Amino acid sequence: MFTKDRKYRSYDVVVGMDRGGQRAHLKNLGLLTEDMKKPFIGIVNTYNEMHPGHFHLNEIVKHVRDGVWAAGGVPFEFGTISICDGFAQANLGMCYALPSREVIADSIEVMTEGHRYDGLVLVGGCDKIVPAFLMAIARLDLPAIVVTGGPMLPGRYKGKDYATYELKEAAGKVQRGIMSEKELEEMEGCLSPTAGSCSMMGTANSMSVVAEALGLTMPGCATAHAVEGIKRRIAKASGYKIVELVNRGFRPSSILTRETFFDAIKVAMAVGGSTNTVLHIPAIAHEVGIKITPEDFERLSSCTPYLVKIKPSGQHTLKDFEDAGGVPAVMRELGDLIDVSRMTVSGLTVGEITAEAKNKNSEVIRTITNAYSNQGSLAVLKGNLASKGAVVKQTAVHPTMLKHRGPARVFNSEDEAVIAISGGKINQGDVIVIRYEGPIGGPGMREMLTATSYLVGMDLANVGLVTDGRFSGATRGPVIGHVSPEAAIGGIIGLVEEGDEILIDIPQRRLELLVSDEELERRQKSWKAEEPKIKKGYLQRYMHWVTSADDGAFLKSE
């Protein structure tokens, strides 16, 4: 027997005459009495057989476990869910994608508190999983390190690099008759070549960048590819480091300050980060009592240079980005825009990390003096159509479409819009409006990737799109999402009628429905909410508790 002479939470389980049953269970699992004096480390493994970003994670976790044992801790692996947004696209599954973020965060909290782990290593990747990890870390405020699963290698087809989102654009080309179905099938066999998150600056890799910028991963983790040896070494180092963090009494709240979140936003804007960062970063900050608003994104993006242009915004790949120096090199280039005194889980300050970083390719990671733009990737638009804001990836919009005025083509779901686009019923100059796809109306705020990809594939470059839904990080073009308030709660987007003129003015940050106030008032009086699309299960509960997109679409606590 041993006494509770050290401050490990896990001693709640193993110390005391009345804990004999717990110790018996642990001995049954193979632990020695001496092991029970060591810190217990929970390892979150989001391995999933139907997920290219996660089916390699058992191997990654093995290296984490090795690191924990080597450092004098005891690893305990447990799993949680991980939806692949790729499979959820264009079907009911996408309604569950964003809501899965809350389930993942909650499940980690439940296991960690129930088993009294002393620290966590969270292993996973992709769109909602990394944000959920960060929410759980912020909420629990226990020693924790994230090991992101890493991007897949880029797909190669006919000698060029591609990412999976380009298959949807290719489908539009087949519709137009400029690509054959056989070529499309050949392309399918090439564009998802290895394990890992999709090889583009979509939400998955944007949030991996954010995790590293927040200081919650080991340096270089975000861009270390899934199949590379460096990912295994980072995994083992993370397992080793977490035991040190537990023994030091590290708390994530010590580094997750408002300024840290601001720095992470700047890094995301510098690399062309996804519009979904505007949902996820506020939700993470909320867990530590910090409010991050769309206005913060607008302010920070407007003063952050755009340095890295990766697919879908440019032609460089995540592998190019890694080879050029990754996140540390970007933070070095940002210089005084980043607080270099901040500490990270690695035990190094940001300044110590960036001092060792090198920009190995100044065309992939540009300098501030040679930036693609003096503004970052995102812009927040406001106007009568979005009084609480809407978001656009301005760096992925052709200059000729930064300002556009056109007639509204109104659809109450993405499915209706896709039928119209693929059926040739949308004209150049139109502004597609897709509504009742917000957090409540969706429910679950589906991605509109199928619609936006068809616009590209059908060569409808002069068509705008406005929605209270959201977009994949793979989206490009004059497409505006997160319109708030959403249609389901009486937002003006629910009052738009076919043929109404809509003004999109990205430089002036305006999104206007060009209809008189008197006419809008008349329409408001006759407006009725749509019947809920889902009337049972998790989504029925979710729609009653979820906050607006401009808040981060997290679940209210009361």
Residues recognised as catalytic: 472
- The residues, any chain, with a CB within 8 Å of residue 399's CB and separated by 6 or more, are none
- Measure CA of the first residue to CA of the last residue in the chain; give whole Å: 44
Q: Mention every residue, 6+ apart, whose C-beta is less than 8 A from residue 14.
A: 22, 23, 26, 36
Distance CA 244, CA 121 (A): 12
Is the alpha carbon torsion for 67, 71, 72, 73 positive or negative? negative
Does the annotation list 160 as a binding residue?
no
Are 270 and 308 within 8 A, CB to CB? yes
Q: Are strands 144-148 and 464-467 parallel, antiparallel or unpaired?
A: unpaired
Question: Which residues on adjacent β-strands are paired with residue 431?
Answer: 408, 464
| Among the listed residues 431, 433, 404, the one whose alpha carbon sits nearest the alpha carbon of residue 416 | 433
| 8 Å CB contact between 270 and 365 | no
Cβ-count burial 390-417 (b if 16+ within 10 Å, e if not): bbbbbbbbeeebbebebebbbbbbbeeb
Q: Which residue do the tokens 């629910």 mark?
A: 494
Query: In 3D, which of 384, 385, 383, 493 has the Cα closest to residue 438?
Result: 493
- Sequence-distant contacts of 83-86: CB under 8 A, at least 24 apart: 83/51, 83/128, 84/48, 84/50, 84/51, 84/52, 84/53, 84/54, 84/126, 85/126, 85/127, 85/128, 85/203, 85/447, 85/472, 86/52, 86/164, 86/198
Across the chain, which distance is largest between two alpha carbons, in Å? 79
| Angle (CA) 484 441 130, round 5° | 75
**Residue length, the chain?**
558
Is the distance from CB of 402 to CB of 335 less than 8 angstroms?
no
For residue 356, say whether it is annotated as part of any ligand binding site. Answer: no
Q: What are the phi and psi torsion angles at 173 (to 5°)? A: -70, -35
Query: What one-letter code names the amino acid at 216?
Result: L
* 536 has binding-site annotation: no
CA gap 479, 433 in Å, rounded: 10
- Are 516 and 490 within 8 A, CB to CB? no
Q: Is 188 annotated as a binding residue?
A: no
Q: Tokens in use for 548?
A: 């607006």
**Tokens at residue 332, please?**
């070095």
Binding residues for Mg(2+): 85, 127-128, 447
Binding residues: 85, 127-128, 447
